[in-house]
Amino acid sequence: MSPTGISSSDSTTRLGFAGVAFAFLVTMLGTTLPTPLYPGYQSAFGFSQLVITVIFAAYAVGVIAALLITGRWSDQLGRRPLLFAGLAAAALSDVVFLAADGLSTLLAGRVLSGISAGIFTGTATVAVVESAPEAWKRAATFVATAANMGGLGLGPVVAGALGEYAAWPLHLAYAVHLGLLAIAVLGVAVATETVTRPPRVRLRIQRLKVPAEVRGVFVPAVIAGFAGFAVLGFFTATAPAFMSQVLGHSNLLAIGLVAGCVFFASTLGQLVQGRLPEAHRLPLGCAVVIVGALTVGTGLALATLWVFLLGALIVGLGQGVAFRAGLGAVAAACPLNQRGAVTSTFFVIAYVAISIPVVGIGLVARLVGLQATGVGFAIGVAALAGAALVSLQRQRAATVVR
């Protein structure tokens, strides 16, 4: 026992917990670093807005591939080997971005970044909870959520500040991130492995399925999740274009702050949803998404930054409530032996929502203009959240009839 009354083993557990949480935050931070830098890539390489959205969407390809291929591997190989693999993919992504000389390298960097996020999304969440000291167990799930969403929110802020006020604007953020990853490797190295590797390792691809008895809960939850994740894609892929071309603000730090605030608001939403009555969580989250999306659309229609920012905060808050509530409801409704497959299906659809709609924005903007496209997108998100509310109401009416 140390003079402070904390045993060396307890101190090691706390250090390992902090190390895994830090690695989670740093890895997710790296995935959103390009957001405020997209205007610089457009200028340097002559890309259109459509190409920028395609570069962003490549991230989802990496995430989905990693979720499906490695989603269950940490149960066999252990948490730490997968975390090290995720950190390696993140470091490779930084190296590719540092050497980027055109479209192919930027696409490769985004795919690698997506792979790192896909590995960490499942593995690190479990690892943070499992490595938490007994006294911190109740807060561990929120720590994992905060590391995930907080990292995603910090990425644009860090890159925006460095891109606007420091030298080497398209590269410095990735060099700094490499340094943070080196510290994260040490953090994972001191963590205790929480999985005992079986005598015979079996690495399987995660199958996607939604059992018939879960579909009534799954459908409204995934519709709401699709709407919310589409908003996250909107702000991380196209916020720079809307900020500069519609709202008249090209400061990279301002762009990063606007993009980041959606994720910070989502973190808050995920925290407060647990304090709401269970039956009201998902409907309330959908309602807040509707209000927030329409406020974002109003800000774009009026070309007014503060209205746009207010909408970002509101829609982020609603996304956090709806996402956590919907995923919780789906997990609770699933048979234990099918929970992994159903949860993976939910996340795959969510990451499709991050990518496909923003590519649509790039396509439609070429026909009707960026401002009208943004307003239409906001209305579409509100309609999707409204559809989730209708589906919820029908589900409850059917339950009452039975």
165-179 pLDDT, tens per residue? 999 999 999 999 999
Residue 391, amino acid: S
Q: How far apart are CA 322 and CA 281, in angstroms?
A: 7
249: left (phi over 0), alpha (psi -120 to 50) or beta: beta
pLDDT score of 202: 84
Residue 340 scores a pLDDT above 90: no
pLDDT score of 1: 45
Nearest to 30 by CA among 124, 93, 96, 99: 93
Tokens 């339950």 found at: 399
Separation of CA 224 from chain center: 15
pLDDT band at 14 (very low <50, low <70, confident <90, very high): confident
Mean pLDDT over the full length of the chain:
90
Q: DSSP class of residue 4?
A: T
pLDDT score of 2: 43
pLDDT score of 400: 56
Q: Helix 137-165 crosses helix 103-131 at what angle (to 10 degrees)?
A: 150
- Tell me how far CA of residue 61 lies from CA of 74, 110, 332, 352, 398, in angstroms: 21, 9, 28, 9, 37
Residue 3 scores a pLDDT above 50: no
Q: DSSP class of residue 116?
A: H
> Average pLDDT of 234-243?
94
- What lies within 8 Å, CB to CB, of 13 at 6+ separation is 131, 133, 192
pLDDT digits (tens, 9 = 90+) for 101-151: 999 999 999 999 999 999 998 788 888 888 888 877 778 888 888 899 999
Separation of CA 370 from chain center: 24
| Percent of the chain whose predicted confidence (pLDDT) is above 70 | 95
pLDDT score of 124: 87
**Can you count the helices (H) and strands (E) in the chain?**
14, 0
Q: How far apart are CA 26 and CA 277, in angstroms?
A: 33
Q: How far apart are CA 167 and CA 85, in angstroms?
A: 31
Residue 25 scores a pLDDT above 90: yes
Q: DSSP class of residue 273?
A: G
pLDDT score of 93: 98
Exposure of 196 by Cβ count < 10 A (0-12 exposed, 13-18 middle, 19+ buried)? exposed
Cβ proximity of 322 and 228 under 8 Å: yes
> Average pLDDT of 319-327?
91
Cβ proximity of 347 and 228 under 8 Å: no
Q: How far apart are CA 317 and CA 309, in angstroms?
A: 12
Cβ proximity of 152 and 31 under 8 Å: yes
Say how many Å lie between the first and final Cα of the chain, rounded. Answer: 60
3-state helix, strand, coil in the chain (%, to 5): 85, 0, 15
- What lies within 8 Å, CB to CB, of 251 at 6+ separation is 160, 164
Q: How far apart are CA 323 and CA 320, in angstroms?
A: 5
- What lies within 8 Å, CB to CB, of 302 at 6+ separation is none
pLDDT score of 5: 46
Tokens 């519609």 found at: 246
pLDDT digits (tens, 9 = 90+) for 32-45: 999 999 999 999 99
Cβ proximity of 151 and 116 under 8 Å: no
Tokens 């402070």 found at: 4
pLDDT digits (tens, 9 = 90+) for 363-389: 999 999 999 999 999 999 999 999 999
DSSP string, 6-26: --HHHHHHHHHHHHHHHHHHH
pLDDT score of 315: 97
pLDDT digits (tens, 9 = 90+) for 46-82: 999 999 999 999 999 999 999 889 888 888 888 899 9
pLDDT score of 287: 96
Give the lowest-confidence range in 97-101, 108-112, 199-203.
199-203
pLDDT score of 392: 86
Cβ proximity of 195 and 370 under 8 Å: no
> Average pLDDT of 257-281?
92
- Tell me how far CA of residue 71 lies from CA of 99, 118, 123, 199, in angstroms: 30, 8, 8, 20
Q: Give the residue with greater pLDDT, 116 vs 199.
A: 116
5: left (phi over 0), alpha (psi -120 to 50) or beta: left
